[in-house]
Chain A
Amino acid sequence: MAEYAIEMLNITKVFPGIIANDDITLTLKRGEIHALLGENGAGKSTLMSVLFGLYQPEKGVIKKDGVEVKINDPNDANDLGIGMVHQHFKLVECFTVLDNIIMGAEPADKMGFLHKAEARKKITELSERYGLGVDLDAKIEDITVGMQQRTEILKMLYRDNEILIFDEPTAVLTPQEIDELMQIMKNLSAEGKSILFISHKLNEIMAVSDRCTVLRKGKYIGTVNTSETTVEKLSAMMVGRDVNFHVEKDDKEAGDVVLDVEGISVASKTSKKMAVNDVSFKVHAGEIVCIAGIDGNGQTELVYGITGLEPLKHGKVILNGEDITKAPIRKRSAAGMAHIPEDRHKHGLVLDYPLDYNMVLQRYFEPEFTNKAGFLKKKNIRSYAEGLIEKFDVRSGQGGATIARSMSGGNQQKAIAAREMDRDTNLLVAVQPTRGLDVGAIEFIHKNLIAQRDEGKAVLLVSLELDEVMDVPDRILVMYEGEIVGEFDPKKVTQEELGLYMSGAKRDEVKS
C-alpha cells in the first residue's frame, strides 16, 4: 500500500483577480493528523475545497492511495472516503441529530421505508468508540455548537470516511470543548483515520498535529514535523516575519465615564431565566474594559441590550450622559456608539453587497455619501472604501467592487473592524473582534484597539480567548450565568484565577 492516503500535487487554482493556490503540494500520511496553517486568505480553505470537489483546479493532480483520481463534486469525494466538517456547519436546524447524520445516506429498503434502528445502532457504536457522546434525539437548534460539531463528525464516520477534513474546527468552540475535540481527533487518528485540519491557532497545532504544512498568500512555504518546530518558527513561516505575541501598551489614565450601564436585565430566548441579570458597570474614556467568560453566559445578550438589538427588561444604559435605554439603533450610533458584532454573517455584513457598500453600512446616509435629493454618491463611497481597504490591509479580489460573500472570513472580519474603528464615535463595542483571525491579523486588531483607547475612546471588549483577556484590556469583568462575578486588574490576576471565576467556582460581590 502506498505510504500516503492523499497526495495533492502542484495544485493551482485561480479566481478572478487572485491566485488562491499557486503550485501547492500537500501529502497526507495514513493515520496522521496534518495541520494546514496560513493567514486569512492564504488559500487553505480553497485547497480543501479542491480536495472535497467543490472547486476544480486549473493545474495539478490528486492521488488517493497512490492512484490518480478526479474529484468533480462532493459526492465523488464521499465515494473516495473523504469527509469534511465546514467552518459553518451544514445541518438542518429543526431535525434531530440522528436525522441529520443519516441525511443523504438514509438506511432505506427497496420500498423506500426508513430503518432508523440500524442507523441508530451503528451511530451509537461509533460514538462510544470515539468518545463522541451526543443525544441522538435532540434537535440541532437546541444543542450547543460543540455538540453540533460532534454531529458533523459523526456524519463523516457514519459514511465510513477515512479522510477527515476539519475547516477551522476550534473557531467556534469554548476552551473546554476545544480540549475535548483535540482528544476526539487523537482517538480518530489512533483508529487509523487520517485527519487534515485547517487552523491558525498555533498552540492547537503544536498540541495535536504530527505534521504541519504552511501556506502564505497562496504559495507553498513548507511542511514540518511538529515535534521539531516551535510556535515562533511556525508563525514566522506563516506571516513571513517575526510576530510579537505580547501586546505593547502604555498605561493611560482613564477619563470621564462614557458608557454607564445601570442594573440591566435582558430576557433569554431559550429559557425563562434572564440571560443578563441586573448587570452594572462603567466604561471610561481611554479605557479598555473586557467582559470575559465562557461562551453562553449572557455576553451576547448583554451586548444586544447595550447596542439596541434586543430590548431591556430592566435598567438603564447611559452614553455620554444621554439616556439611550429606549433609543433606536440609529440614534445610539449617532450618539457615539460603534459596534463590531459577534456574528459577522448575521449582523456585520450584507454578504451580497459589494465591499464598498458594506464599508458604509453605518454611514451611507451621511452627507458625504448621500446628497440632499437622496441619491448615493457612489464615487465617494468607492474612494472611502478603497482608503479603508488600504489602511486596514483588507485583501479582496476586486477591491471595493468585491462581493463580500466571496472574501475569506478573516478579511470580512477585518473589513468590519475597519468600518467600526474608523467612525467618529467615542465608544467601541467590540465582540470577539479577533474571532477566526490569524496571528498577524490578531496583532493588527489588538494594536488598533489600543490605538482607539489612546485616542481617548472607551472600548468595551467581549472576548472568549484568555490570551486576549489577559493582554489587551485595562480592566476585566468576568461574567457567569448572566451576572458579573468578579472585577480584576489584568496585571494582578492569573489565568487560573480567572478560570475559577469563569467556571462559577468563585465569585465576588461586585459594585459598579
Chain B
Amino acid sequence: MKKILKSDGFQSLIASLICVILGLLIGYIVLLIINPSGAWEGIMAVIKNFFFYPSGPARMKYFGSTLVKTAPLVMCSLSILFAYKVGLFNIGVAGQYCAGVGASIYFALAFHLPWYVCVLGAMVAGALLGGISGLLKAYCNVNEVISGIMLNWICLYTVNGLLSKVKEPTSPYTYNIAIKSRKSLLPSFGLDKLFGNNKYVTIAIPLAIILAIVVMVVLDKTKVGYELKATGLNKNAAKYAGIKEKKNIIMTLVLAGGLAGLGASFFYLTGIEQWMCTSSSVPSMGFNGIASAFLGALNPIGTLISSFFIQHITNGGGYVDKTMYCSQISDLISSIIIYLCGFVLFFKTVMKRMGGAKK
C-alpha cells in the first residue's frame, strides 16, 4: 500500500484529480457569484455533458461529438509531450496545427485530393513548420518558445490568406468539404453506426489512440527514444556519447509538428467545422494541448484521458442554461478548469514534499 502511495504514477493521478476538482469548484463559485439560483444546475450540466440527453442513442451521438473533438486535442498534447520529453517546449504547436488546417483544407477544396493525401499534406505542413523552429534552435540557438510563438502568427495569417481562395463568396468560411469534395473526408468504416449515426465519427479517433501508443513505445522502448531523451536531459552527454544532438533537436520538432498537423486533419477532414478566414487568433486547440499534456501527467495514455476530459467539459459548457447566464459562461468555466490543469506539476511537488516530511 505504501509503495502505491509513493509511486510516481499514483501521485500524478492524484495531482491531476485535485486539479480537476479545484477547477470545478472555482467554476461553481463563479456561477454562484453571477447567479446563485442556477449555479448547481449549471455546474452539473458541465459535468454531465452528453448525459444531458435522456435517450441512449442521443447520448451516444453526443458522446461521439466529444470524441471527434478529442482526437485533434490528443494529437496536440502528444506533440507537446513528445517535445517536452526531449527537453523542448513546443509552444509552436498551435501554429503547426494551423499549418495542418491550411494544408488539409486547401488540398481538399482546391485539388479535391483523396483523404489520405490531405492527411499526409497536413502532417508534412506541420512538420515543416516544426522543422523551422528546430533549425533555428539547433544552428542559431534561437529559443524554440520565441520562434514558435512568432511562427504561430505568421502561420495563422498565411493560412487565412491561402484559404480565402477556397472560401464561400458570401461568408468568411471555407467551403463545406462534405459538399465540395466528399472523397477528402475521413472514412468512418462503420464507426458512425456505433455512435447514433454521428457522421463526424471517423477513423481519426482510433488513429489518435494508436498514435498515442506509438509515441509511448518509441519514447520508452526504442533506441531512438533513448537518444532523444538523452539529448533532452543532457545535451553535452549526448554529444559525448556520439549522438548527433543537433539532428535530434530538429527531428524532434519535425515529428512534434507532424503530430500537430495530423491533429488538424483529424478535425477538419471530418467536415464538422469550416475554417473562418478572418480568424484573428491562433486555434486554441494547440494551447489546450499544453494543458492536456500536463493534466495527463506527460504520459501518452494519460493524455488520452485528459484530452477527453477537457473536451467533455468544454462541450458540457454548452448546456449551461443561457437564460440565466451570458453565452460566454461556458467558455469561461471550461477555461478556468483547463487553466487549473496546468497546476498538476505544482501539486505533485507539494505532495512529494509532504510525503518526504512525514517519512
Q: Which A residues lie within 8 Å of B241 (CB)?
A: 329, 361-362
Per-residue contact bits, chain A 61-84, to B (CB 8 Å; 1 contact, 0 not): 000000000000000000000000
Contact B237 A364 (CB under 8 A): no
Taking a contact as CB atoms under 8 Å apart, the answer to whether A374 and B222 are in contact is yes
B57 to chain A, nearest CB (A): 44
Question: How many whole Å from B233's CB to the nearest CB in chain A?
Answer: 5
- Does chain B have a CB within 8 A of A213? no
- B229-270 interface code vs A (CB 8 A; 1 in, 0 out): 110011011111111100000000000000000000000000
Q: Mark B41-53, 1 if CB is under 8 A from A, else 0.
A: 0000000000000
Contact A374 B223 (CB under 8 A): yes
Residue B1 is within 8 A (CB to CB) of chain A in the complex: no
Residue of A nearest to B224 (CB): A374
User: Which of A284-292, A314-322, A339-347, A464-472 is the contact stretch?
Assistant: A339-347
A328 within 8 A of B: yes
> A56 at interface (Cβ–Cβ under 8 A)?
yes
Whether, in the assembled complex, A365 has its beta carbon less than 8 Å from a beta carbon of chain B, the answer is yes
Q: Which of A103-111, A128-136, A348-356, A496-504 forms contacts with chain B?
A: A348-356
CB distance from B221 to the nearest CB of A (A): 5
With known contacts A328-B242, A329-B242, A353–B230 Cβ distance under 8 A: yes
Asked whether, in the complex, the Cβ of A347 is within 8 Å of the Cβ of B240, the reply is yes
Q: Summarize B's interface: helix, strand, loop or mixed.
A: helix
Q: State in angstroms the CA–CA spacing of A61 and B193 once bound together.
A: 70
Contact string, A243-257, partner B, CB cutoff 8 A, digits 1/0?
Answer: 000000000000000
The yes or no answer to B4 lying at the interface (CB within 8 A) is no
Task: Report the number of A-B residue pairs with Cβ-Cβ less than 8 Å.
Answer: 66
> Does B139 count as interface, using CB distance less than 8 angstroms?
no
State whether A56 touches B230 (Cβ < 8 A): no
In the assembled complex, which residues on chain B have CB atoms less than 8 Å from the CB atom of A332? 242
* Cβ-based interface call for B357 (8 A): yes
* Alpha-carbon distance A240/B243, docked complex (angstroms): 42
* Complex Cα gap A370–B227 (Å): 12
Q: Cβ of A364 and Cβ of B223 under 8 Å apart?
A: yes
Residues of B within 8 A of A348 (CB): 237, 240
Q: Which of chain A's residues 162-190 have a Cβ closer than 8 Å to chain B?
A: none
Interface size on B (CB < 8 Å)? 21
User: Counting CB contacts under 8 A, is A309 at the interface?
Assistant: yes
A374 to B222: give the CA distance in the assembly, Å: 6
Chain B residues in 8 Å Cβ range of A349 = 234, 237
CA distance A365 to B244 in the complex (A): 13
Are B233 and A352 neighbours in the complex by a CB distance under 8 Å?
yes
Cα–Cα distance between A129 and B240 once the two chains are bound (Å) = 45
Q: How far is the CB of A234 from chain B (nearest CB, A)?
A: 35
A113 in contact (CB, < 8 A): no
Is A357 a contact partner of B226 (Cβ separation < 8 A)?
Answer: yes
CA distance A131 to B224 in the complex (A): 54
Residues of B171-215 at the interface with A, using a CB-CB cut-off of 8 Å, are none
Point out the residues of chain B lying under 8 angstroms from A307, CB to CB: 240
B357 adjacent to A350 (CB under 8 Å): no
Assess the B230–A350 pair: CB atoms within 8 A: yes
Contact B223 A350 (CB under 8 A): no
Chain A nearest Cβ from B355, distance in angstroms: 12
Contact A376 B240 (CB under 8 A): no
Q: In the docked arrangement, what's the CA distance between A55 and B202, Å?
A: 54
The reply to whether B230 and A329 form a contact with Cβ atoms under 8 Å apart is no
| Complex contact A330–B242 (CB within 8 A) | yes
> Are B242 and A350 in contact, CB atoms less than 8 angstroms apart?
no
A333 within 8 A of B: yes
How close is A20's CB to chain B, nearest CB, in angstroms? 13
Query: How many residues belonging to A are interface residues under a CB distance threshold of 8 Å?
Result: 29
List chain A residues, Cβ under 8 A from B243: 330
Closest chain-A Cβ to B184's Cβ sits at a distance in Å of 34
Asked if B222 and A341 make an inter-chain contact with CB atoms under 8 angstroms apart, the answer reads: no
Q: Which residues of B contact A350 (CB under 8 A)?
A: 229-230, 233-234, 237-238
Report how far A153 CA is from B171 CA in the complex, Å.
71
CB B354 to nearest CB in A, in angstroms, measures: 12
Contact, CB under 8 Å: A333 / B226: no
Contact A351 B233 (CB under 8 A): yes
Rounded to whole Å, the gap between the CB of B15 and the closest CB of chain A is 20
A205 to chain B, nearest CB (A): 33
Known: A56-B357, A374-B224, A375-B221. A347 touches B242 (CB 8 A): no
Q: Contact between B223 and A370 (Cβ–Cβ < 8 Å)?
A: yes
Could you tell me the distance between the alpha carbons of A347 and B241 in the complex, rounded to whole angstroms? 8
**CB neighbours of B233 from chain A (8 A):** 350-353
Q: Write the nearest CB–CB distance from B329 to chain A, whole angstroms.
A: 41
A234 to B222, CA, bound (A): 49
- Could you tell me the distance in whole angstroms from the C-beta of A74 to the nearest C-beta in chain B? 15
Q: Which of B221, B224, B226, B239: most chain A CB closer than 10 A?
A: B226
Given contacts A339-B240, A362-B241, A376 and B226 within 8 Å (CB-CB): yes
Given known contacts A328-B244, A361-B230, A375 and B223 CB-to-CB distance under 8 angstroms: yes
On chain B, the residues within 8 Å of A346 by CB distance are 234, 236-237
B239 touches A364 (CB 8 A): no
Q: How far is the CB of A161 from chain B (nearest CB, A)?
A: 26
Residues from chain B with Cβ under 8 Å of A374 in the complex = 222-224
A309, B357: Cβ atoms under 8 Å?
A: no
Q: How far is the CA of A364 from the CA of B242 in the complex (A)?
A: 11
28 contacts between A and B (CB under 8 A): A309-B240, A328-B242, A329-B239, A329-B240, A330-B242, A330-B243, A339-B240, A341-B240, A346-B234, A346-B237, A347-B236, A347-B237, A347-B240, A349-B237, A350-B230, A350-B238, A352-B234, A353-B229, A353-B233, A357-B230, A361-B230, A361-B240, A361-B241, A364-B226, A370-B223, A375-B222, A375-B223, A376-B222
Extra 15 A-B pairs, beta carbons < 8 Å, given A331-B242, A351-B234, A374-B224? A309-B239, A309-B240, A332-B242, A333-B242, A346-B236, A346-B237, A347-B240, A348-B237, A348-B240, A352-B233, A352-B234, A353-B229, A357-B226, A361-B230, A374-B223
Instruction: Pick the 8 closest A-B CB pairs, nearest first.
Output: A330-B242, A347-B240, A329-B242, A370-B223, A361-B241, A350-B234, A352-B233, A346-B236
